[in-house]
């Protein structure tokens, strides 16, 4: 290609880029004006997904040095200490980013050392988090005859990763770092297809069999020894148009699942309903009312079985 023609093409390309850059700047300015946002409160202060991912790798190694940290040697405590220091150093930076973000959003300021306090309390909770994860792994091993060992579950099962990350995210959520917690939950969702909001409260010995497509909402409360299967939704009902509440209202809007409940594949449980202890929810059932303890709910139609009684319609008006 002759040199003058090449120069003209390069100049045209540069002009096109400049035009796109200008258009993007205008779009940003329009959005910031409409939302009363300014560049000073931009994403540079938002927790970074890449950094949080590195933090999680260090935490995995500190929690499980042999199986997930691949440690070989005689100074295991030193290895754990080093990986923990690396994890908490990254976490301090990301929590500080979050706190600066909220300061810019609200024009209020946190007390000095607030981020350090969050990280310190998070670190102090890790031994109990490890015990909870151990109970989840044991429940999975007990509940899945295909598993050959607890090590296989920890290393290979998507539910192990998703629930481990949720245990970590929930601690940060309750300590006052919800954005870092949400980044952790979205990393878990990307890797496993299991979507657990960090605000959800989950008891010990929790097992999600297979797991793909499971959704657990923010205000969900789950008791001990609960088992879910793939494509289960523990969600909220859509607010009616005449309601004065908005989607920003943080009221309790997700289910309570009591101890020893099993919910099979494809079931959808919506709203602040209670699934009583020891109940079984069959596959593809849609539940929007309380279920008494010890019940079996199944389709079709949606029927409620109680010990010693004939089947009863689950929903008022069903026959």
Per-residue pLDDT tens over the stretch 65-104: 999 999 988 899 999 999 999 999 999 999 999 999 888 8
Distances (CA, A) of 298 to 204, 252, 263, 276, 287: 26, 26, 10, 15, 10
**Pair of tokens at residue 96:** 């500080």
Residue 6 within any structural domain of the chain: no
Do 110 and 130 lie in one domain? The reply is yes
Range with lowest mean pLDDT among 6-15, 101-110, 152-161, 195-204: 6-15
Interatomic CA distance for residues 232 and 221, integer angstroms: 15
Sign of CA dihedral 85, 87, 88, 94: positive
Q: Is the pLDDT of residue 315 over 70?
A: no
Residue 25 within any structural domain of the chain: no
Interior/surface letters 269-298, b for 16+ CB within 10 angstroms, e for the rest: bbbbbbbbbbbbbbeebebeeebeeebbbb
* Phi/psi of residue 34, nearest 5 degrees: -65, -30
Q: Calculate the average pLDDT of the chain.
A: 88
Looking at residue 43, what is its pLDDT? 45
CATH number at residue 268: 2.160.10.10
Query: Tens of pLDDT along 26-80?
Result: 998 898 888 776 555 444 578 999 999 999 999 999 999 999 999 988 899 999 9
Do 64 and 138 lie in one domain? The reply is yes
Residue 243 within any structural domain of the chain: no
Do 118 and 211 lie in one domain? The reply is no
Band of residue 11 on the pLDDT scale cut at 50, 70, 90: low
How many domains does one find in the chain? 2
Do 51 and 160 lie in one domain? The reply is yes
Provide the whole-model pTM: 0.84
What is the domain range of residue 171?
46-194
């Amino acid at each position: 290609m002759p040199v003058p023609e090449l120069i003209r093409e390069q100049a045209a390309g540069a002009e096109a880029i400049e035009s796109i850059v200008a258009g993007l700047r205008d779009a940003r300015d329009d959005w910031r004006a409409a939302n009363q946002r300014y560049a000073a409160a931009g994403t540079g202060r938002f927790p970074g997904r890449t950094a949080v991912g590195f933090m999680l790798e260090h935490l995995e190694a500190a929690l499980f040095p042999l199986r997930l940290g691949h440690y070989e040697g005689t100074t295991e405590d030193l290895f754990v200490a080093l990986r923990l220091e690396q994890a908490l150093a990254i976490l301090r930076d990301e929590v500080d980013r979050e706190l600066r973000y909220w300061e810019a959003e609200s024009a209020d300021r946190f007390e000095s050392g607030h981020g350090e306090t969050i990280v310190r309390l998070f670190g102090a909770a890790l031994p109990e988090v490890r015990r909870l994860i151990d109970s989840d792994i044991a429940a999975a091993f007990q509940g899945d005859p295909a598993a050959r060992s607890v090590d296989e579950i920890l290393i290979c099962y998507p539910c192990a990763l998703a629930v481990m990350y949720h245990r970590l995210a929930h601690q940060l959520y309750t300590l006052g770092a919800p954005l870092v917690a949400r980044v952790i939950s979205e990393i878990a969702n990307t890797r496993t297809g299991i979507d657990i909001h960090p605000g959800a409260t989950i008891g010990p010995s929790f097992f999600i069999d297979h797991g793909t497509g499971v959704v657990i909402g923010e205000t969900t409360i789950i008791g001990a020894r609960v088992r879910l299967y793939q494509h289960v939704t523990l969600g909220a009902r859509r607010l009616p148009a005449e309601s004065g509440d908005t989607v920003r209202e943080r009221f309790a809007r997700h289910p309570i699942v009591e101890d020893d409940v099993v919910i099979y594949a494809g079931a959808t449980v919506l709203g602040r309903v209670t699934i009583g202890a020891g109940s079984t929810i069959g596959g593809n059932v849609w539940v929007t009312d309380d279920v008494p303890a010890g019940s079996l709910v199944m389709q079709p139609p949606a029927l409620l079985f109680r010990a010693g009684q004939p089947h009863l319609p689950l929903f008022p008006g069903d026959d």
